[in-house]
Amino acid sequence: MEFCSTESLTMPFLFHDVIFGPVRSRRLGLSLGINLLPLHSKFCSFNCIYCECGWTPAPAREGMELPTRAIVASFLEEKLKELAKKNYLPDAITYAGNGEPTLHPEFSGIVDDTTRLRNQYSPHSKVCVLSNASRIHDPSVFEALLKLDNNILKLDAGTEKTFRVLNNPVESFDFARMISDLEKFKGNLIIQSMFLKGVYNGATVDNTTAREVGEWIGHLKVIRPKAVMIYPIARATPAHGLEKIGREELERIAVRARQEGLEVKVYD
């Protein structure tokens, strides 16, 4: 999922199809998206203040219809056949869409279907996920994520206080447990991190401070991801008063992480 700009949000940026694109992604090249979530509403375990999809509805997931495993497989096969005829197969097939893809109760089976169809129609495509890591404690989700070529999981903050402001989980959530569970991937993951600053609810929010970056790097040294992707706001945000971080400051953060042996790439 690509993220927001500093302008106030008038309409959420939502995907209205199960299969969308291919679109050009800053991180993944030509990416065919799979939206496992409702087509006209956000469906998420977090309520991030910068999310392009807008605020998470409350109650967050009640009464929302998700595409079935069979529908996802059928639509994906149809799209891959169409793209193969056009010689326009994607670099990536990515679970993204209107919130958190691993909330889908059939996520594990959908991963198996996607891999099978990728192997059949587009063997050079990487199967990827953009996830907030909120469901990695679930064994079925954990095992499914291990099967992906690019298991891209979010870590936006060094301290729990900043995490709760930026990512704002909608249910009870254990930040320390998430860090511990990320470590269990034994490096078979990519960390994605959004950096921003500004004012939210009358208080300063800034995950670029020396303390925040230091704590964030400390977590990364424990997790040891195969890569780290850092980026700024790119689209409109639901919260007012947030600022886009410039390339120079992002590069300074990247340099600090690289000095600890981490592979970091900046996207702006």
Q: Looking at residues 259-264, what average pLDDT do you find?
A: 98
pLDDT at 167 over 80: yes
Residue 62 has pLDDT above 60, yes or no: no
Average pLDDT of the residues in 114-139: 98
Domain 4-266: top CATH class: alpha beta
Q: Tell me: the pLDDT tens digits for 68-105? A: 999 999 999 999 999 999 999 999 999 998 999 999 99
Q: What is this structure's pTM?
A: 0.92
Q: What is the pLDDT of residue 112?
A: 98
The model's confidence at residue 63, banded by pLDDT at 50, 70 and 90, is: low
d(CA 22, CA 14): 15
Identify the band that residue 161 occupies on the pLDDT scale cut at 50, 70 and 90: very high
pLDDT of residue 61: 55
pLDDT digits (tens, 9 = 90+) for 194-229: 999 999 999 999 999 999 999 999 999 999 999 999
* Domain locations along the chain: 4-266
Q: Would you state the pLDDT for residue 251? A: 98
pLDDT of residue 15: 74
- pLDDT of res. 59: 62
Give helix 210-223 / helix 247-258 axis angle, nearest 10°: 50
At 158 the pLDDT is 98
Question: pLDDT per residue over 29-61, tens digit each?
Answer: 999 999 999 988 899 999 999 999 989 987 645
Buried b (16+ CB within 10 A) or exposed e, 168-206: bbbeebebeebbebbeebeeebbbbbbbbbbebeeeebb
Q: How far apart are CA 100 and CA 232, in angstroms?
A: 20
d(CA 189, CA 183): 9
Q: Answer whether residue 247 shows pLDDT above 90.
A: yes
pLDDT value of position 150: 98
